[in-house]
């Protein structure tokens, strides 16, 4: 039995065979865990998503830095990369565990339950604005569920801004439900904590 955490998942080949190349709408995508040498790709896609958002929606994204991503990768926290066959990064996200202190401080206000030490947190999820509506959030969340189960976790948790209706709908289509609501501990906007039992 694996410990509750992600230290065991550090290699891209850990993705399930059925998800390594996923067919969606007659297009295939390659799924892997981001390596330190690929951080520039993550930051470029993050900038594209950020620039596409109107000013009043910028709070939907927590901007990551090179150092932040290096820390996540070094700590064994999965940074999922979804690429087209030509290698272009089109979706990405970060997972964490409630057993990690830097993760739990970001969900202040969520009523942590006894079994939440077995919870994986979706810390971020970004999809290329030119590829929205192509099922990429579904691929990401299916991969997140697999990695959570592989690590012995039983739940997924995500914090979504209440005015981020597209993201909320995406999570709900993937078996998440509203578990609690509150305010973002840093930016103070209203959020809903979405939970998925796996």
CATH classification code of 12-197 = 3.40.630.30
User: Would you place residue 21 in the very low, low, confident or very high pLDDT band (cuts 50, 70, 90)?
Assistant: low
* CB-CB contact of 178 with 190 (8 Å): no
pLDDT tens readout for residues 106-139? 666 666 666 667 889 999 999 999 999 999 999 9
Q: How many residues does this entry show for the chain?
A: 198
Residue indicated by tokens 């993201």: 167
| Model pLDDT for residues 143-190, shown as the tens digit of each residue | 999 999 988 899 999 999 999 999 999 999 999 999 988 888 777 889
Domain ranges of the chain: 12-197
The pTM for the full model equals 0.85
């Amino acid at each position: 039995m694996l410990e509750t955490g992600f230290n065991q998942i550090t290699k891209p080949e850990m993705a399930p065979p059925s998800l390594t190349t996923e067919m969606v709408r007659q297009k295939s995508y390659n799924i892997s865990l981001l390596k330190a040498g690929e951080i520039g790709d993550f930051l470029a896609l993050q900038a594209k998503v950020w620039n596409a958002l109107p000013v009043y929606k910028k709070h939907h994204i927590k901007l990551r830095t090179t150092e932040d991503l290096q820390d996540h990768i070094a700590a064994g926290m999965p940074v999922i990369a979804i690429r087209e066959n030509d290698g272009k990064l089109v979706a990405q996200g970060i997972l964490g565990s409630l057993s990690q202190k830097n993760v739990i401080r970001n969900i202040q206000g969520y009523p942590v339950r006894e079994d939440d030490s077995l919870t994986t947190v979706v810390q971020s999820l970004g999809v290329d604005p030119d590829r929205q509506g192509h099922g990429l959030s579904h691929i990401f969340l299916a991969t997140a569920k697999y990695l959570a189960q592989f690590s012995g976790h039983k739940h997924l948790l995500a914090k979504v801004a209440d005015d981020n209706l597209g993201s909320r709908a995406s999570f709900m289509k993937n078996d998440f439900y509203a578990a609690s609501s509150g305010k973002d501990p840093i930016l103070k906007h209203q959020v809903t904590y979405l939970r998925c039992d796996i």
